[in-house]
Amino acid sequence: MNLWFRMLYRLLLAPWRTRIGVLESSSLEMRCWPTDLDVNLHMNNGRYLTLMDLGRLDLVARSGLLRTMLKRRWRPVLGAAQIRYLKPIGPGQIFRMETRVVGWEGKWFWIQQRFYLGEQMVADSLVKALFLGPKGSVQVDEALEAIGQPQASPPLEGVSRF
């Protein structure tokens, strides 16, 4: 249940946070709560993926896409995710999650999400995501046009296109 509270908290704060462009980073600070832990007393590997949803939600809300998604009945959907765990996050530790779009192609966005303890990166991930609308997949160009940010994708060189 605590993730619902975290999500509502982020949604309530979003209108007062600085608006960002689709290629800018979203940064969220959070604490590792006892409900985030596994039997080894560090953040559960699945919890990282769940918290990454909040990072993408913040990015979508602050870039202006959330209002468009609701109006056009688009739903965000992940197609793939890969993550490397470099160092554990322990109970009570405050960590930062950075989320940014690294590029797009056709209907897919590639989004990098990284977790930090201080300045040390402790997890690194890449997800492939799209929006589904009433008529199927939404092309990235349509989504960017809808928020007034039409532009070409940065080069996807070195980005795994799983």
User: Is 1 part of any domain?
Assistant: no
User: Is 83 part of any domain?
Assistant: yes
CA dist., res. 115 & res. 67, Å (int): 27
User: Is 117 part of any domain?
Assistant: yes
List average pLDDT for each run of 10 residues in the chain, which is 162 residues long: 76 80 93 94 95 93 90 95 97 98 95 98 97 96 90 84 68
Classify residue 138 as exposed, middle or buried by CB count within 10 Å of its CB (0-12, 13-18, 19+): buried
Domain that holds residue 55: 21-146
pLDDT given at position 1? 47
Which CATH number goes with the domain that contains 103?
3.10.129.10
- Encoded tokens for 160: 């795994």
User: Is 65 part of any domain?
Assistant: yes
User: Is 140 part of any domain?
Assistant: yes
Sign of CA dihedral 34, 83, 62, 139: negative
pLDDT given at position 161? 67
Classify residue 53 as exposed, middle or buried by CB count within 10 Å of its CB (0-12, 13-18, 19+): middle
User: Is 112 part of any domain?
Assistant: yes
**What is the count of structural domains for the chain?**
1
User: Is 125 part of any domain?
Assistant: yes
User: Is 133 part of any domain?
Assistant: yes
